[in-house]
Structure 1
Amino acid sequence: MEIRYDIEKNIIQVDSVEIDPQSLDKNFIGVCSNCNSDVSSLSYHAYEKGTIVAGKCSLCDTIFAIRYDTDWNWQGEEPITQFFDIKNCNDLKVLDGIDKKKLSTVFTPAETGAMYAKVRGEKYVRQYLYRARKKYADFEELFGININI
């Protein structure tokens, strides 16, 4: 099961099928399996014989897909590793949605600046964007966020 999540529109995609949210209620839904912090719901989605809840950790920002049956019995969870594809949405808000600490962990300030300039349609230093692109796979491996600018 491949799960993607659109942070902007709160749409979950399961195996290429987009599912609109039934609810955007914010509730405490559990504890993060990565850092033991609180996980709160982002959106609720009806799926097959149950519900998938997209939840986000308050500390490490990991987003999970948590599956429940029709009686709200927990069926499992998995981190959502694909959130959005910046290539398909040249929107500054999408890039701004990535935690700055995460960006600065992998990219230099010059590389980050080049990515922002490219998204805004401004002039940028090609060399810095080239260097950033070489690090996209590392960024995705570390944080599960696919960047393609």
Structure 2
Amino acid sequence: MDEVKALPENYRPEVTEPVLDMYLGLLVPLLELDERNHIPVTLTVSGAVIYGELISYDVWKSEWVKLLQESTQGAGVDVLAKFPQSVDDVRQELVDAGELHVLKSPPRFVHLRDVSILGGSHSTTINHRLWRGRLAEVSGWSLGTPSW
């Protein structure tokens, strides 16, 4: 029988966090300087190709409200339209009360407008006006959008 080897006594598993791309992590905050800033990009996320205009959080939030008002009906539209600002307000209240500490860190999300998503086979394209994704999930990117 094969002898079973034990792990060294001081062994500790290493947790590896996703490494953010420094260039993309710096490009995203530059868009925040002026809401007119936008740039076409192509991202690879979990095997899917996602492309569109990289926009700031504030532009995404504003366009999200417009999209919601155009595409949703009923009494809850006004409440839903105020949702992004409500989240920002609560976050700021927690910061002001000292209950939430905000560190100057790289952005955590990326926002796109006029988005196309190509699945694994690239035979199906899904189009959306807006998309928000975790920056840490982006495994590759390029400036510009594909031309076929």
TM range (shorter): under 0.3
Larger radius of gyration: 2
**Larger relative contact order (CA 8 Å, sep ≥ 6):** 2
